[in-house]
Structure 1
Amino acid sequence: MVGNIDVRASKLGQPDLGSATLNDMREHAELVANLDTMTPLIADADTGYGGQNMIARTVAQYHRSQFKQTPTSLFWKALPPKTKREIHAVFLHLLRCYMVEHGATPSWTPEKAKELGFKIIIFPFAAVAPAYKAIRKGLQQIKDTGTTGIAADFTPKKLFTAVGFKEATEIDVAAWRNLYDGVQSNATDIRRNSMPLAISNESHK
């Protein structure tokens, strides 16, 4: 899930008060979606970022980006009945629960949400809150002790492995192998093509 709260806080350093634009959200959603193309992604589209023409542009850009857009309830309520019927005819409407921890929404478990009829439960703070706390703790550690306090087993290799080092290396090796094979093949062809000329030159001496 790519939500407004997460993008505005982590990317823009802004509160969730309408500061993110269509481009901010779409670009961030595309980045996240391409980290793992096999994992479904839901991306918030806020209220469509403007009037009817802008809403149409938002839907079109999200569609081209190949991830599912999910407008907020205010956007949905503002749509005329005919538009709602058209959307229902195209998209599968899933009843979902946006679980903002310690906010106005009750703190339900997935089991409780399912019991109440919800099909999806979204936890927007699940990643951003632990990251915020950990970063502040790490920086305070440097300020207090002069060291990061990071565990000894957290090496650069461990970090790179988590973000696809093995897969990237395999692609790199395969590319260089193909290049090397191509160079070797070209060198062999050049030697073969030059042999008759060398023999011909020898015969005229």
Structure 2
Amino acid sequence: MSAVQKLRNMLADPDKFIVCPGVYDGYTARIALQEGAECLYMTGAGTTMSRLGMPDMGIATLNDMRDNAAMIASLSPNTPLIADADTGYGGAIMVGRTVQAYIRAGVAGLHLEDQVVSKRCGHLKGKQLVDAAEFTCRIRAAVLARQQTAGGDILLIARTDALQARGYAEALARLRAAVAAGADVAFLEGVASSAEAARLVADLAPTPCLFNNVPAGVSPDFSTREAQLLGFRMAIYPVLALEVVYPAVRRAVRQLLGSGRVQSVEEDGKRWSPRELFEVCGLAECVKFDRAAGGTGWLEGV
């Protein structure tokens, strides 16, 4: 079964809530896979920060995002990967090219939004939107590109950032138009309360809705159970790895520069050897493959 079919089957199960840990590179993806994640989410903010060292302000290009998504998807081809596709990176033709590039990269699902091309993180102020007709055009372009990709499929998630600037009614109308144009899932960015979340799910039923969990952002920090009870069918956690890596690396650098020695970040004082870290990224599988091919580089062990 392909990753996209697996994702569609998960979405078709009314009792299933799809939890997508946010990853931004091969290492964080490997950690999530090791811990049993059934679905991954490639964050656009994390991709921009890790690959370019820049903030999420519309700086990453299609090539940046596609290349990162292709690498992450290749690590476990049967595990669905949902990836941020921002605005589609241009007009209808470019949106179509983006969708086909993501399909060929092995991405199982993507979301497209209604900000202008020079977009910004959905939890920052001052977002500018294209008009509703252009947003719907982006979704139609995505649907056409999916149809025209031989043997290809991808879950299309329509995201609107209209709530903060234009209100709930405008945001709902945009999502309804996107679903009518062929989007599979609705994504309202910046849901402000549990009451608003429940209203959204009811207003868009039976279309499945996605919740974006960004702690300290503009939305409540719903647990997976809370989000499911509100009626959401899936949730993405884009800053999961970013948030925990920042204080850990900062602490280690401060220790090194301050005392000349890095202490453990684990409570029990454990330090991790290179071999243990490599094992997260498939060391045993690589050695096994080499031996099966007749390689001799690892006959004496690792």
> TM-score band (shorter)?
0.7 to 0.9
Aligned equivalents of 1:45 and 1:113: distance in 2?
Answer: 23
The letter of the residue matching 1:55 is V
Structure with the largest fraction of helix:
1
> Contact 2:211 / 2:232 at 8 angstroms: preserved in 1?
yes
Cα 1:79–1:86 shift into 2, 3 Å: closer
Task: Kindly indicate whether residue 62 of structure 2 is the aligned counterpart of residue 22 of structure 1.
Answer: yes
2:48 aligned residue: 8
1:87-112 Cα deviation digits (max 9, x unpaired): 24xx5664100111111111111112
1:113 aligned residue: 227
1:174 aligned residue: 292
Shift of 1:114: 1.2
2:282 aligned residue: 164
- TM-score w.r.t. structure 1 length? 0.77
1:87 aligned residue: 182
Secondary structure at the counterpart of residue 235 of structure 2: strand
- TM-score w.r.t. structure 2 length? 0.54
1:148-170 Cα deviation digits (max 9, x unpaired): 22455411111111111111001
Larger Rg: 1
Cα 1:155–1:177 shift into 2, 3 Å: closer
Secondary structure at the counterpart of residue 148 of structure 1: coil
> Contact 2:92 / 2:137 at 8 angstroms: preserved in 1?
no
The letter of the residue matching 1:173 is R
> Contact 1:95 / 1:120 at 8 angstroms: preserved in 2?
yes
Runs of 4+ in 1 over 6 A off after TM superposition: none
Aligned equivalents of 1:94 and 1:166: distance in 2?
Answer: 39
1:182 aligned residue: none
1:69-97 Cα deviation digits (max 9, x unpaired): 42244269511499244524xx5664100
Structure with the largest fraction of strand:
2
> Contact 1:43 / 1:69 at 8 angstroms: preserved in 2?
yes
Shift of 1:113: 1.2
Percent identity, aligned pairs only, is: 33
> Contact 1:48 / 1:54 at 8 angstroms: preserved in 2?
yes
- CA RMSD after TM alignment: 2.4
Task: Kindly indicate whether residue 73 of structure 2 is the aligned counterpart of residue 33 of structure 1.
Answer: yes
2:97 aligned residue: 57
Structure 2: gaps (5+ residues): 1-40, 116-129, 141-177, 186-206, 297-302
> Contact 1:10 / 1:128 at 8 angstroms: preserved in 2?
no
